[in-house]
Amino acid sequence: MFEGKDIMTNKIDELGEDHIGSSAKTPLRDDAFKLSDEEKRKRIESSVRDILDTLGMDLNDDSIKGTPRRVAKAYVDEIFGGLNPANRPKLSTFDNNYKYGEMLVEKNIVVYSTCEHHLLPIIGRAHVAYISNGNVIGLSKMNRIVDYFAKRPQVQERLTMQVVQALQQAMGTEDVACVIDAKHLCVNSRGVKDIDSSTVTSEFGGKFKDKDVRREFLDYIKMDTDFD
């Protein structure tokens, strides 16, 4: 068992600060929801208290003694609330009675997420588009599905794919696209400390794989890219 752990540690050390990718599925254990939210809060509170104590913080100080409880509540109820499938928004669709057949773009959707490698914030904007094949979806649902998948320990590539796949499934069409432009505080505030750089990811489905359609989408959101 220890040998296997050492091998994994060595692999992580070899990767260093390189970005580690994975599939479009969030890596959750089968028993991820065995504990209640309250049980999770209590465990996280205890763990945060241990971290602060190890760092030498005085947990009797009025300013910090409530921090473990506040962090636990924020993690379970807010920052990582998108892990719980019970919080998944209902993506109701409607008949496209007005026969709108062009591209619909919802741009500048605010993204607040957390890098799963360092548990530091990812902050940016998502731009989502679809072409109706007979169904339309409420505009706010597009914002909500971005927010739902963002509220997890994430990598930006996975988040981009999850948004597209969720909307494709809900609307019964492959013609969905998403571009996310975000700053990663694991880059901006630590390590290389590059405060100006941002990361752009994209996922194009169906008709959006066509060069002209993709260009139209990028023109709508006014992004100069090398995707062509």
Catalytic residue among 45, 127, 154, 186: 186
Q: What confidence score (pLDDT) does residue 19 get?
A: 55
**Per-residue pLDDT at 24 exceeds 90:** no
E strand or H helix that includes residue 170? helix 156-171
The mean per-residue pLDDT over the stretch 85-101 comes to 88
pLDDT of residue 108: 95
Q: Select the more confidently predicted residue: 124 or 92.
A: 124
pLDDT at position 25 over 60: yes
Give the angle subtended at the CA of 26 by the CAs of 25 and 27, to the nearest 5°. Answer: 110
Read off the pLDDT of each residue in 176-201 and give the average, rounded to a whole number: 90
Active site residue 117: yes
Q: What is the DSSP string of 80-127?
A: TGGGSGGGPPP--EEE-TT---SEEEEEEEEEEEEETTT--EEEEEEE
So what's the pLDDT on residue 2? 39
For residue 10, what are its two tokens? 């060595």
Comparing 33-79 with 93-220, is the CATH topology the same? no
State the number of CA atoms in the 13 A half-sphere of 166 facing the CB.
27
Instruction: Name the more confident of 202 and 95.
Output: 202
186 an active-site residue? yes
Rounded to two decimals, what is the model's pTM? 0.86
| Catalytic residue flag (residue 127) | no
Catalytic residue among 45, 106, 127, 156: 156
Confidence bin at 22 (pLDDT 50/70/90): low
pLDDT computed for residue 195 by the predictor: 85
> Cα–Cα distance between 204 and 210 in angstroms, integer?
9
What residues pair up with 180 in beta bridges, in sequence order?
Answer: 126, 201
| Catalytic-role residue among 45, 106, 115, 154 | 115
- Assess whether 116 carries a catalytic annotation: yes
pLDDT at 38 over 80: yes
Q: Where are the domains of the chain?
A: 33-79, 93-220
Is the pLDDT reported for residue 15 higher than 80? no
* CATH architecture type of domain 93-220: 2-Layer Sandwich (3.30)
| pLDDT single digits (tens) 103-119 | 999 999 999 999 999 99
**Among the options 19, 118, 165, 174, which is catalytic?**
118
Q: Is the pLDDT of residue 23 over 90?
A: no
Q: 92, 141 in Cβ contact below 8 A?
A: yes
Number of H helices, E strands in the chain: 7, 7
User: Is 45 among the catalytic positions?
Assistant: no
Active-site pick, 45, 106, 116, 203: 116
pLDDT of amino acid 224: 54
Q: What is the mean pLDDT of residues 32-53?
A: 97
CATH class of the structural domain 33-79: mainly alpha
pLDDT attached to residue 222:
87
The DSSP letter of residue 182 is: E
* Distance of alpha carbon 20 from alpha carbon 105, whole angstroms: 30
Quick one: what percent of the chain has pLDDT higher than 90? 74
pLDDT range class, residue 21, cuts 50, 70, 90: low
